[in-house]
Structure 1
Amino acid sequence: MDDNGGRLGRLRRILERREEREAAGPSEPWRIRAGGGTPTLPVTEEVPLIRTDFSDDAVWTAVRDAVLAPHPQGRGEVFRAEVEPVEDRRFAGLAAAELVERVPADPECPEEPAATLLLVADATTVTSAEHHLLLVEIDIDENDLVRRLRVVPRAVQMVENNLTTANMGWEEFAEAADDDGVLREL
């Protein structure tokens, strides 16, 4: 995958929204629209993989490494999940809604969040047999709707790459989840 694929798509969407905002007039910054709160999550080019459970370092390491592992595809191509681990005890025990409140405004486009996808290693990740993570999406086109889905570590790359490049939509992954709400494969 082209290293800039997700970033170029995101830049294109930012430019389109900037043009729409200029035509519509001034808007409020993301943090005000989202209800305030101190933005404490780091601004990153990649999807943050946020550790909120600090009870088992070995599980965290295994999950993080599985998410970051290369995924060979056909014809010698190798894909990786474009995620950045965030290991900060200030996020210990926070729920998805609390993490969304801590997403800062995009420095280049303050009306939007710096991240629209969050990957969370929470207590369920640590205690579940498959160590599935919580994937959170902030849909700014749907009035900042927050969606959640559980994903096993080996499926993170496929989901992240396809969502950030807009190859597939959230609904496709939600429909592919098993009856227990966990996405394992497509």
Structure 2
Amino acid sequence: MRSPLPLPPADETHVPGMLLIRTGDDDDVWNDVLWRMGELPGMRVAGDGSQVGPAGAADAGAASSIPRRLVVADDPAWRGATAEEVAEALEEPGIWVPDLVVLTDDRTARNAEARTLLAFGSDDGDISGFWITPRQAAMTYLVLNRPLISFVFEDFAERAPTEPEWEVEDDEELGEDHLYEPVGVTMEALSNPPRYTRPDHELPVLDHDIDLLVRTDFTDDAAWASLVDQVAHPADDLYDDDLSDHVRLVDDPAFAGATPEQVLAHIRPSDDEEGMFAEVVLIADATTLHRAGQRVLVVPMSDDVGLTFRVDADQVRSMLINLALSNQDIDDWRGEEKEEAEDA
């Protein structure tokens, strides 16, 4: 008989969030998983593990003005637990139910490069699971407040289902060769992978009621003005409407030096379900403003959430329009950068 999961009471208005459960005994593996995830906002640790994340982050959204909750369960009573056992425990009435459940697994210890985790969405009781890496789980956590997040989980389940990819013969043991790669394996292999760290100061919340271009470098106003002009008036402009119809320029020094993950964590989705938005946020960082080509950093909020890439400034408006109209998807624009990352 396992002890109850350390979950708070149900919210009057549901707070989105994630439950991370330790099921293995190896401290080094567990600590590596937590380190890769970073100091996520709204984190609280329950169990006999040491405090992880920002001090005093027990309340939902304590490190961000957007409500969210990450419950980290480090309880020996849940060693060896299965997804089915966790799903059954979540059926207990009166408790907060996370949108995403992530468990360490035998595969987490076995695969030191990706630290593969077992995950499932819990919004409808369906436990069709998928494999995911810690950094991808962390980036997905930052967008759990977005509408229709279940479609992201469905995409993950299609790309990295938990059943074996290859048939296991009677005389074989189930191993890595039989299993699908986890979602986020490219992210874990990057030389500079995303990892959430707390901002030095509270950042403003950005409403995603229109596509956003966020400036994070403030050392060259002329370069910023040049970038805005390129985005607004590309050389091969096929559109007569003004930039402001598609993009809001966020020129706020509060975002100076902000990382893509920090910007991602401070975006609140629009209440307008009919709005036409690309599932990305654009960032003008030091690389954008100080290198030839002024390539804008693109941070996806769906598909490979948080796996950034760059596009030329004069291609930004075309990308946003085609993504919003579903004429193209993010991989059409990610192009060679993803191929290079996968080959690294």
- Shorter-chain TM-score tier: 0.5 to 0.7
AA aligned to 1:151 is V
1:79 positional shift: 6.0
Q: Does the 8 Å CA contact 1:66/1:153 hold for their aligned counterparts?
A: yes
2:216·2:258 contact (CA, 8 Å) conserved in 1?
yes
2:287 is the alignment partner of 1:124: yes
> Which digits, 9 at most, give the CA deviation of each residue in 1:143-181, with x for residues without a partner?
x82231101111101111111111100111112559878
What is aligned with 1:155? 315
The answer for the alignment partner of 1:133 in structure 2 is 296
In structure 2, the residue matched to 1:13 is none
The alpha carbon displacement at 1:95 in A equals: 0.7
Equivalences for 1:30-179 in 2 at 5 Å? 32=17, 35=41, 36=61, 37-39=64-66, 40-69=204-233, 71-73=236-238, 78=240, 82-107=246-271, 116-139=279-302, 145-175=305-335
Work out the CA distance in 1 between the residues paired with 2:266 and 2:65: 6
Aligned partners of 1:48 and 1:86: how far apart in 2? 7
Distance 2:337 2:242 in 1: 21
User: Which amino acid is 1:152 matched to?
Assistant: D
TM-score by length of 1: 0.65
Aligned mates of 1:79, 1:177 — CA distance in 2: 30
Aligned residues: 145
| Between structures 1 and 2, the one with greater helix share | 1
Contact 1:48–1:119, Cα closer than 8 Å, also in 2: yes
- CA pair 117-41 structure 1, distance change in 2 beyond 3 A: farther
CA distance in 2, matches of 1:180, 1:61: 31
- 1:9 corresponding residue in structure 2: none
SS at match of 2:331: helix
Greater percentage in strand = 1
Say if 1:91 and 1:148 are closer, same or farther in 2 by CA, change over 3 A: same
Distance in 2 separating the partners of 1:166 and 1:27: 31
CA deviation vs aligned residue, 1:46-100 (integer Å, no higher than 9, x gap): 2111110000000000101111126533xxx536651110111111100100001
Q: TM-score, normalised by structure 2?
A: 0.37
- Unaligned 5+ residue runs, structure 2? 1-11, 19-39, 42-60, 67-203
In 1, Cα distance between equivalents of 2:297 and 2:306:
12
Query: What amino acid does structure 2 have at the position aligned with 1:78?
Result: D
Gaps of 5+ in 1: 1-25, 182-186
Identical residues among aligned pairs (%): 25
Distance 1:50 1:104, change over 3 A: same
Q: Are the structure 2 counterparts of residues 176 and 157 from structure 1 closer, same or farther at C-alpha, using a change threshold of 3 Å?
A: farther
Q: What is the alpha-carbon distance in structure 2 between the residues aligned to residue 126 and residue 180 of structure 1?
A: 23
